[in-house]
């Protein structure tokens, strides 16, 4: 099975921290964020496709072409055309089912294993949050399947309502590429993965199943790096 990790962005909310390295290479507890993703991949994943862009050479030089027994391939996202645009850059080398992860957030290995369990549905890892802040809001139907993902806006950073958040970890398959790319919002030059996946599930009749977790660590700004180190430290105690 293949895992696609989206690691092309700079991470503008990190300010000067990403002057010399891309956001996925920022360190938490002595390791780059990207390494936590690789460690979370189960044995079923034998190839990692890294979508790189801003300072992609830093990632290439650090990880090379192999991580343990997993092959690493690189795809350059030359134009920053959104998360769905990033995935479409890798379309020609993807086959069957594949996992998608963000290059910055931290996921638990057991959650990844749960998500890649064989089924006819697509999967999205989600987490209930007491305060949503910038997280995308997941909407469910009466049967518990996902019908919508409402992405946050910059001004939503202070959102204090509770909800079900998208972790942006998906398990999809190549049928996705038969559906059209969908802009993040009307007039946007970026194509959003949440918008594209939700539209594809409706067009193709494929259920999008939520997989609930309590172990997702979202990384959006510098203070999240400190908080993540504290959480990971407690897990080791």
- Give pLDDT tens digits for 218-231: 998 899 999 999 98
Is the model's pLDDT at 216 over the cut of 80?
Answer: yes
3-state DSSP call for residue 237? coil
Model confidence pTM above 0.85 = yes
- For domain 2-236, give the fold: Spore Coat Polysaccharide Biosynthesis Protein SpsA; Chain A (3.90.550)
Angle between helices 193-204 and 82-89 (to 10 degrees): 70
Q: For residue 75, give every residue at least 6 positions away whose Cβ sits within 8 Å of its Cβ, in sequence order, or none.
A: 49, 50, 51, 52, 89, 90, 93
Which residue bears the tokens 């105690």?
237
Check pLDDT > 60 for residue 154: no
pLDDT score recorded for residue 9 = 87
pLDDT (0 to 100) of residue 6: 97
pLDDT tens per residue across span 85-135: 999 999 999 999 999 999 999 999 999 999 999 888 999 999 999 988 888
β strands within 108-207, DSSP E: 122-129, 137-140, 146-150, 163-173
- Specify the pLDDT at position 158: 59
């Amino acid at each position: 099975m293949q895992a696609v990790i989206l690691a092309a962005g700079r991470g503008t909310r990190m300010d000067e921290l990403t002057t010399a390295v891309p956001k996925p290479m920022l360190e938490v507890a002595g390791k780059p964020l990207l390494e936590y993703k690789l460690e979370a991949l189960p044995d079923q994943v034998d190839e990692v496709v890294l979508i790189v862009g801003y300072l992609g050479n830093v990632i290439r030089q650090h990880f090379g072409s192999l991580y343990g027994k997993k092959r690493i391939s690189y795809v350059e996202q030359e134009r920053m055309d959104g998360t769905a645009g990033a995935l479409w850059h890798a379309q020609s080398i993807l086959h069957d089912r594949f996992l998608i992860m963000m290059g910055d957030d931290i996921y638990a290995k057991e959650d990844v294993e749960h998500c890649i369990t064989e089924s006819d549905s697509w999967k999205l890892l989600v987490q209930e949050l007491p305060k949503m802040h910038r997280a995308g809001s997941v909407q469910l139907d009466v049967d518990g399947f996902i019908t919508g993902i409402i992405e946050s806006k910059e001004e939503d950073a202070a959102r204090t309502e509770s909800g079900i958040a998208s972790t942006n970890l998906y398990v999809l398959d190549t049928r996705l590429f038969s559906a059209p790319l969908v802009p993040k919002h009307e007039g946007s030059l970026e194509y959003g993965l949440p918008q594209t996946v939700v539209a594809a599930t409706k067009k193709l009749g494929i259920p999008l199943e939520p997989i609930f977790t309590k172990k997702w660590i979202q990384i959006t700004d510098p203070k999240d790096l400190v908080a993540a180190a504290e959480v990971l430290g407690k897990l080791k105690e």
